Structure 1
Amino acid sequence: MGNRHMRRAAALSSATALACLTGATGATEPVAAAATSVDGNGQCTFPMKKQIKGTPWSLQRLVMDRLWEDTKGKEKDGDPVKVAVIDTGVDNTNVQLKTAVDASSGANYLSVPKDVSGADRKRAQSPTYDEVGHGTKVAGIIAARPRPGTGFVGLAPDAKIIPLKQNNAEGKGTPEMMARAIRKAVDEGARVINISQDTKGARSQQDLELAIAHAIDNNVVVVASAGNDGADGKSKRTYPASYPGVLAVAASDRNNERAYFSQSGDFVGVAAPGVEMVSTVPKGGQCVDNGTSFAAPYVAGVAALIRAKHPDWKQNEVVAQIEQTAERGVNGRDRYIGWGVIDPVKALTDDEQAIQRPTVDNGSAQNIPKPDPGKLILGETPHERSVRLATYALGAGVVVVAITAGGAIVLRDWRRRRDA
């Protein structure tokens, strides 16, 4: 891990470090991932013995009964919506993920070092081996099961996670591995794919672009993090978030404003909570972390709920629904939070019919009818005249009341002096 990435981690938070990992150079550029987080008491080690008891702020704003009124991630026939997590692996020994992860449908695209043997080698070959913790946190935000003693739960706790490990602590992942993982997700029946990574140098790669197009052509919702290099305020494209059809997610804070580190650009679709995000870690417990890496699965969880409730909706209709129902800072789309900060409950309740693309609100300036020149009124309108007369009447009434009250006081004082 280079000094540049360590400085970036320190810049994100003094309490929560989020670093980008790099891999060895070669013909194919590596992929950026994120390292383990730091909680308020120091380094987050695995497992965390204590659970976080309270409800995370990102869930406090939701009325869960409304959100889950129709589904928690299962379709009407009882089948769970499959969500592929392409990341550093997803640990399934954490009790909140034990029944959420389908290891048999996953894959590990990283080679195991030759010096690792025996049981350790077998474990390292599994897609449920997550030595970083990043993929486990991502999966938890999507589908962690409820557990007594903690207020943390995934947004789609009945969904099923497909673990696809293609990155690790050394950043050995490549766009080619990511492309293979995407195609595997499609073959395994994933309805949603979450990618909380971006390619080093923000470069487009042909294999990756074709794999993304393949997923979209097969009606899969692809959600990707926008990136964490936005502290300088400059807009730039990141990949795979910038590919056509991908729902790129920026990070927002408690005030529904862009988190300062969140990458901006015209490719951003929506924003979602990405600051002080609670989620599961390998072997048990939870930690807190920051980044667009954890904003993306918040959106992927909502996408899973929509797919469960509306299994016939196309992937672009799911994306449009999320964008249309977002809480907007401006009446339209901007480069910081896209169409706005996601509103999960509205996305699941304001859904009478599918839409093809988001639109500006009906009350926007460009939708206000132009005035009819033939009805232009000069001088005082009837309404204005009524308001003026009513004001006069009110004023006169106040004066009468004041005079009456004042006269009564004067008469009272005169009688007292006379009696004295």
Structure 2
Amino acid sequence: MTTYRATSRTAALLAAGTLTALLAAPGAAAAAGPAPDRRDGPVLDGSGECTFPMKKQIVETPWPLQRVLLDELWQDTKGKGVRVAVIDTGVDDVNPQLQSAVDAKAGKDYLKPDKENPGFGDEQRGKTDGTVDQVGHGTKVAGIIAARPRPGTGFVGLAPEATIIPIRQNDEKNSGKADTMAQAIKWAVDKGAHVINISQDTTQRLDSDSDMAKAVAHAIKNDVVVVASAGNDGMDGALKTTYPAAFPGVLAVASSDRNNERAAFSQAGTFVGVAAPGVDIVSTVPGGGQCVDNGTSFSAPYVAGVAALLRAEHKDWTAAQIVARIEQTAVRSVNGRDNYVGWGVVDPVRALSDAPGTPPSTPTADPGPLKPPAPEPARLALSETPQERSERLATYTLGIGVVLVAVVAGVAVVIRDSRRRREVR
């Protein structure tokens, strides 16, 4: 069976046991060993801790949102009526920014009974609706998509009126399997998901006959936008293929940094569709407050949020057209796509801006700068016209006349001066 891993370094470190103490109690960061590489691991808050629930909110507006004119982005829609399934470690519905966003009745838990994973309080024990998140990973993913505005923080989801379908399919032990992932995707489709976000990946080769491939094909056939993270094993720069991101029709998302370049950890590959911010990402954590993390896990929901806005604004567009629109309007450094950021870094406002006609189902390379007009050859006259000859002769005649007048006048002056000199003598 294929085991799926959450594509943020937090979950990987949890699986290795290095962050268990850190999440268990405040002030335990020192006991957890040396701080992880800031390029490749979770970036914690200023104190070096990322416990949850957080007692304090992050007041500042996160840098990815500082680049987005939210008033312009939301001038037509905030995602109301769109349902986004988050297949992850669960989505907490206690955090105030997610309470009204999560549809617990449509949720599902595919892991062991919660008596073995009791959650954070008695009120969460025994839940099987996908709203228990002991890792915090799925809650962060959901917040980037649909966190509601809240006084005291600059953080908000890109589609703050969308609805989240919570599906718990993985945990800190990386218990997620290929069969439960396939079941989760089918569940999301049955519960009316318009967009599915999967911030998990595996490098094991999966062919078109696998349960996972069939589930993804089922979702796409039902016109669902499927967004998946590319993975965090890109430090060596080598091209790899991860699933489900590489399945046909899935929008695979890499991570970009503040310079719109590929984040060092982001997996490169021929399947990458776009990139989105994945460094120093703020989002919600279970119980309340926000935290900061890195990873393609948090780039994917950024794109899923944009997809939710497009689904709300253009109800007649197909899933393929929405994917193409996101790819076509991305900010590029080349005319086409590359294996590091795909078609470019997602631009939410540009994606939502009015576009003439219906978007194509596949993106196209930029046409490049316009070519200058070809130079026109100079006209070569082999003979002159009668008019040109007359003008030429007239010019000659005039010139000769002027010269003769000047000569005559000069001779007259000489003769006059000569006579005057003789008279004086």
Task: Name the counterpart of 1:93.
Answer: 94
Task: Name the counterpart of 1:17.
Answer: 41
Task: Name the counterpart of 1:171.
Answer: 174
Task: Name the counterpart of 1:145.
Answer: 148
Distance 1:247 1:194 in 2: 10
Distance 1:65 1:283 in 2: 29
1:393-404 to structure 2, matched below 5 A, reads: none
Q: 2:335 aligns with which of 325, 331, 334?
A: 331
Contact 1:15–1:38 at 8 Å: present in 2 too? no
Q: Which amino acid aligns with 1:265?
A: G
Contact 2:40–2:264 at 8 Å: present in 1 too? no
2:120 paired with 1:108: no
More moved, 42-51 vs 139-148: 42-51
Q: 2:295 aligns with which of 266, 280, 291?
A: 291
Structure 1 residues without counterparts, runs of 5 or longer: 19-36, 75-79, 379-420
1:24-63 to structure 2, matched below 5 A, reads: 38-63=44-69
Identity within the alignment, %: 61
1:271-290 to structure 2, matched below 5 A, reads: 271-290=275-294
Q: Deviations over 1:69-108 (max 9, x none)?
A: 100002xxxxx20000000000000000000000000100
Q: Which amino acid aligns with 1:179?
A: A
2:352 paired with 1:348: yes
Q: 2:136 aligns with which of 133, 136, 146?
A: 133
Q: Secondary structure at 1:209's aligned position in 2?
A: helix
Q: Which amino acid aligns with 1:59?
A: L
Q: What is the deviation of 1:175?
A: 1.2
Q: What is the deviation of 1:346?
A: 0.3
Larger radius of gyration: 2
Contact 2:129–2:167 at 8 Å: present in 1 too? no
Give the 3 Å change call, closer, same or farther, for CA 5–261 of structure 1 in structure 2: farther
1:340-379 to structure 2, matched below 5 A, reads: 340-355=344-359, 356-363=361-368, 368=371, 375=376
Distance 1:4 1:164 in 2: 20
Q: Which amino acid aligns with 1:196?
A: S
Distance 1:98 1:160 in 2: 10
Q: Which amino acid aligns with 1:232?
A: D
Task: Name the counterpart of 2:321.
Answer: 317
Q: Secondary structure at 2:164's aligned position in 1?
A: strand
Task: Name the counterpart of 1:388.
Answer: none
Q: 1:235 aligns with which of 233, 239, 254?
A: 239
1:190-269 to structure 2, matched below 5 A, reads: 190-199=193-202, 201=204, 203-204=206-207, 206-269=210-273
Contact 1:178–1:208 at 8 Å: present in 2 too? yes
Q: What is the deviation of 1:126?
A: 3.4
Contact 2:335–2:367 at 8 Å: present in 1 too? no
Q: Secondary structure at 2:247's aligned position in 1?
A: coil
Q: Which amino acid aligns with 2:325?
A: Q
Distance 2:13 2:52 in 1: 25
Q: Secondary structure at 1:354's aligned position in 2?
A: coil
Give the 3 Å change call, closer, same or farther, for CA 64–2 of structure 1 in structure 2: closer
Task: Name the counterpart of 2:192.
Answer: 189
Q: What is the deviation of 1:4?
A: 12
Q: Secondary structure at 1:278's aligned position in 2?
A: strand
Q: What is the deviation of 1:125?
A: 3.0
Distance 2:202 2:112 in 1: 20
Give the 3 Å change call, closer, same or farther, for CA 113–49 of structure 1 in structure 2: closer
Q: What is the deviation of 1:306?
A: 0.2
Contact 2:15–2:172 at 8 Å: present in 1 too? no
Q: Secondary structure at 2:197's aligned position in 1?
A: strand
Contact 1:15–1:39 at 8 Å: present in 2 too? no
Q: Secondary structure at 1:266's aligned position in 2?
A: coil
Give the 3 Å change call, closer, same or farther, for CA 212–150 of structure 1 in structure 2: same
2:72 paired with 1:66: yes
Q: Secondary structure at 1:147's aligned position in 2?
A: coil
Give the 3 Å change call, closer, same or farther, for CA 8–315 of structure 1 in structure 2: farther
Q: Secondary structure at 1:321's aligned position in 2?
A: helix
Task: Name the counterpart of 1:27.
Answer: none
Give the 3 Å change call, closer, same or farther, for CA 200–340 of structure 1 in structure 2: closer
RMSD, matched Cα: 2.8
Task: Name the counterpart of 2:165.
Answer: 162
Q: What is the deviation of 1:138?
A: 0.1
Contact 2:331–2:347 at 8 Å: present in 1 too? yes
